[in-house]
Amino acid sequence: MWKFAKPIKHQIPETRWPSADQAARSLLFQPVQIGPVTLESCTWVPAMVPWRATEDGFVTQDNLDWYRRFAEGRPATLVVEATGVRDIPSGPLLRIGHDRFLPGLQKLVETVRGASKGHTRLFIQIIDFLAVKRRPDPTKYFDRFLAITESHRQAIAEIMNDATWLTASETTVREFLKSTSAQVIDQVLDERERESLRFGYRERVTDTHLPHIRELPQVLPEIFADAAHRARETGFDGVELHYAHAYTMAGFLGALNNRDDGYGGPRENRVRLPLEVYRAVRRRVGNDYVVGVRFLGDEVITGGNRIEDAVYFGVEFAKAGFDYLSISKGGKFEDAEQPKVGQAVYPYTGQSGYECMPTTLSDERGPFGRAVPLVAAIKKAVNRAGCKTPIVATGGITTFEQAEQILESGQADIIGMARQALADPDWFRKVKLGRGDGVRRCTYTNYCEALDQAHRQVTCKLWDRKELDEPGITMASDGRRRLLAPGWKP
């Protein structure tokens, strides 16, 4: 995990909670218009992956219970976790790439409607991703995965000063590589081969030598459009196109995208496919349906996009007609820590990952609202361009005072709380009713994020081992943690 050279342990900020009358007059609890939909307030629960779907991507009772619990807190908007748009294996993550997934998703919609008594709007975040393999055992890598080429033989011949390596058999080359030093391996393998050995094989949008990667611009617009159409037919109030972090569409937007087919290089080319996907989605769902986007205000990685690029993308998205822009930061593969053998690389372990989900162990700036300046810059540019597209701020927002100040200063239009909502799904009701003193405050240790990294059912340390003898509670698969936050009655 990323660590600062001179870390500072920040305290969870003290806060004053409003009375019910103060909350009612606040900006946070005022209605806001998002395209054709009016939200009851500016409160928002961003997408979080809870690892509760089946291995085939179907909705489970645990999924229904998870979203029911958030809906009971009555945020204005709840965004369902990143849901795969293609009908391909993705482990216990929800999918919407085929009609067979729709009955379960419809139950999810009905569950949220009922639990919130119709107060919470429900969007679904739809996503595409490329192949990421687990870090292999070195012996297995050299035996099965490395394609032996003449360049490998040439490199070994030069290192060993022995021309017989130029005609050595594959078996001989493989046995040599399995027994030689890491220093020699570094000289023999190219950059991508070294990465595949030490981090696991990972596809990029720039791998245009692979036919299925080359054709992504031709196939993704309709794939996303089909998924969005299914979302509308199922009853979701809108879709959020996931263009952030370490996934396919973020790869096209990314500054490292150097494709030579008109979809890479200058940022005008890199935004081309994201806009084409949006237009295909809009044609399919119509103008009377919410279509939003989540993208990065800063990639953080070396050579990555910075705020100037994000401002450009934000203005282009707003002009194109997106109904809202949700801003994140970092979360990239390029600076992730090396995984253990048998595990997959996780894009939230390097500096970019820290910036996405900061903890109380931080630098002088601290972890709270760390991405808000990026949000503010994008909002300012969008408004200057003549667009009134609502902008969502997320990342380390925990108190009413903090949220209200962001709105009052015009830095954002909507406040998103993920980790704080996980800690206490009733934050929104408690604050609105003047009961903020009873809020269970997130401590920003990223206990939840560690569970996500391990692909374990996500819970919060503040409630997952409390009241375990309570009748009727559902336990995690390890039998030691409760899967849902304790209930609350006003």
The band of 95, judged by pLDDT with boundaries at 50, 70 and 90, is very high
The band of 4, judged by pLDDT with boundaries at 50, 70 and 90, is confident
- The sign one gets for the Cα dihedral 167, 171, 174, 179 is negative
Q: List, for residues 113-152, the tens digit of each pLDDT value.
A: 999 999 999 999 999 999 999 999 999 999 999 999 999 9
Q: What is the model's pLDDT at position 400?
A: 97
**Quick check: 7 pLDDT over 90?**
no
Over residues 459-486, the mean pLDDT reads 93
Q: List, for residues 29-44, the tens digit of each pLDDT value.
A: 999 999 999 999 999 9
Over residues 21-29, the mean pLDDT reads 97
- Hey, how many other C-beta atoms are within 10 angstroms of the C-beta on 338? 13
Q: What is the model's pLDDT at position 490?
A: 87
Classified as helix, coil or strand, 7 is coil
For 143, which DSSP code? Answer: I
Q: Taking a C-beta distance cutoff of 8 angstroms, is the pair 420, 35 a contact?
A: no
DSSP strands (E only) in 27-141: 32-34, 37-39, 43-45, 77-84, 121-127
Over residues 326-339, the mean pLDDT reads 96
Q: What is the model's pLDDT at position 283?
A: 98
CB proximity list for 92: less than 8 A, separation 6 or greater: 51, 52, 53, 54, 55, 57, 455
Alpha-helix runs per DSSP H in 235-291: 248-253, 267-270, 272-285
| H/E segment holding residue 351 | helix 351-356
Q: What is the model's pLDDT at position 169?
A: 95
CA dist 87 and 108 (Å) reads 20
Q: List, for residues 389-405, the tens digit of each pLDDT value.
A: 999 999 999 999 999 99
Q: List, for residues 404-452, the tens digit of each pLDDT value.
A: 999 999 999 999 999 999 999 999 999 999 999 999 999 999 999 999 9
Q: List, for residues 344-356, the tens digit of each pLDDT value.
A: 999 999 999 999 9
- The sign one gets for the Cα dihedral 455, 458, 461, 467 is negative
Q: What is the model's pLDDT at position 472?
A: 87
Dihedral of the alpha carbons of 331, 337, 338, 340, in degrees to the nearest 10? -90
Length of the chain: 490
| H/E segment holding residue 113 | helix 102-116
Over residues 195-221, the mean pLDDT reads 97
Phi, then psi, of 202 in degrees rounded to 5:
-140, 125
Q: List, for residues 407-417, the tens digit of each pLDDT value.
A: 999 999 999 99
**Quick check: 364 pLDDT over 80?**
yes
Classified as helix, coil or strand, 46 is coil
The band of 271, judged by pLDDT with boundaries at 50, 70 and 90, is very high
**Contacts by 456-461 with C-beta closer than 8 Å and gap 24+?**
456/51, 457/50, 457/51, 457/52, 457/62, 457/481, 457/483, 458/48, 458/49, 458/50, 458/51, 458/422, 459/483, 460/422, 460/423, 460/485
- Which of the pair, 3 or 51, is modelled with greater confidence? 51
Q: What is the model's pLDDT at position 72?
A: 97
How does the average pLDDT of the chain come out, rounded? 96
The band of 3, judged by pLDDT with boundaries at 50, 70 and 90, is confident
CA dist 378 and 306 (Å) reads 12
Over residues 302-319, the mean pLDDT reads 98
Q: What is the model's pLDDT at position 91?
A: 84
Q: What is the model's pLDDT at position 431?
A: 98
- The sign one gets for the Cα dihedral 71, 73, 78, 84 is negative
**Quick check: 90 pLDDT over 90?**
no
Over residues 184-202, the mean pLDDT reads 96
Concatenated DSSP letters for 8-25?
EEPPPPP--PPPHHHHHH
For 477, which DSSP code? Answer: T
Q: What is the model's pLDDT at position 5?
A: 79
**Quick check: 1 pLDDT over 80?**
no
Q: List, for residues 72-83, the tens digit of each pLDDT value.
A: 999 999 999 999
Q: What is the model's pLDDT at position 416?
A: 98
